[in-house]
Amino acid sequence: MDENGNSFSTDGEGGKSNVGHYFVDVAARCPYGLDQKAVYHQGIFGWLDDAIMGKFLAQGYRRNGNSMYTMHCPDCSLCVPIRLRPEKFRPNRNQRRVLKKNRDVTAGIAPLTMSRENLNLLESFLTTRFPESNNHAEGYYTGFFITTIARCFEIRYRVDDQLVGVAVVDASFGWLNAVYFYFDPQQSWRSLGTYNILYLNNFCKNQKIDYLYLGYWIKDLPGMDYKKRFRPHELFVDGEWQEQQ
């Protein structure tokens, strides 16, 4: 359903949809710092039920606030959607080490909350990881995380009482969409980005969720390239999901 209450449908996991007229192309700087112009193919919607949201994700779309988008960059095709099938995934030796060194981390599921604790952690993360950007924590929550089109919640990671990481996710009984993850830069030694994916995969496996969508994989970009180490995984290439062993 769009923001005016009009309904629409999609046809199957890899099929065509009748929603093309809801989308526009918006040019912007590359969000990943690459030296190419980015073009978002995006549409703004009202509530999307789990089946429709799942079909968008299965066709390579991502969520940003109340919009769904794909990248239509004219000179670049490096953003490749990646997902896991939790029942198939097997951690490698390094990932097992990450689990071991984070045995003191506890996870709790909570509503999406723009609390001062969360904002302070996100601000520290953004300032450390992206010092040249003009991004701020409140803007990320209001413009990127908070949504009325899908069921969204947080998974908060703590060591004792200290918040060390937050995963923002959308979820249903059939899929889980990893929207964003931020963590305490002083805890970088923990490899919390890897730990978060391992936790989400285990969560999906326990809940019998079929697909874990990890956003984009971008070859040779350190903040994205690590996702390929989760095997087997699937990449959305040429309109279909292809398994990579």
Identify the band that residue 5 occupies on the pLDDT scale cut at 50, 70 and 90: very low
Q: What is the structure's pLDDT at 19?
A: 63
Buried b (16+ CB within 10 A) or exposed e, 183-217: bbeebeebbbbbbbbbbbbebbbeeebebbbbbbb
Give the residues across from 109 on adjacent strands.
155
- The CA distance from 56 to 31, in Å, is 21
Q: Reply yes or no on whether the pLDDT at 130 is more than 90.
A: no
pLDDT in tens, 47-100: 999 999 999 999 999 999 999 999 999 999 999 999 999 999 999 999 999 999
How many other CB atoms are there within 10 angstroms of residue 49's CB atom?
Answer: 12
Q: In 3D, which of 101, 91, 112, 231 has the Cα closest to residue 171?
A: 112
Q: Reply yes or no on whether the pLDDT at 16 is more than 80.
A: no
- The CA distance from 196 to 129, in Å, is 17
Q: What is the structure's pLDDT at 1?
A: 46
Q: What is the structure's pLDDT at 3?
A: 44
- Whole-angstrom CA distances from 120 to 45, 66, 111, 158, 166 are 30, 24, 17, 15, 12
pLDDT in tens, 131-177: 777 789 999 999 999 999 999 999 999 999 999 999 999 999 999 99
pLDDT in tens, 178-223: 999 999 999 999 999 999 999 999 999 999 999 999 999 999 888 8
pLDDT in tens, 100-125: 999 999 999 999 999 999 999 999 99
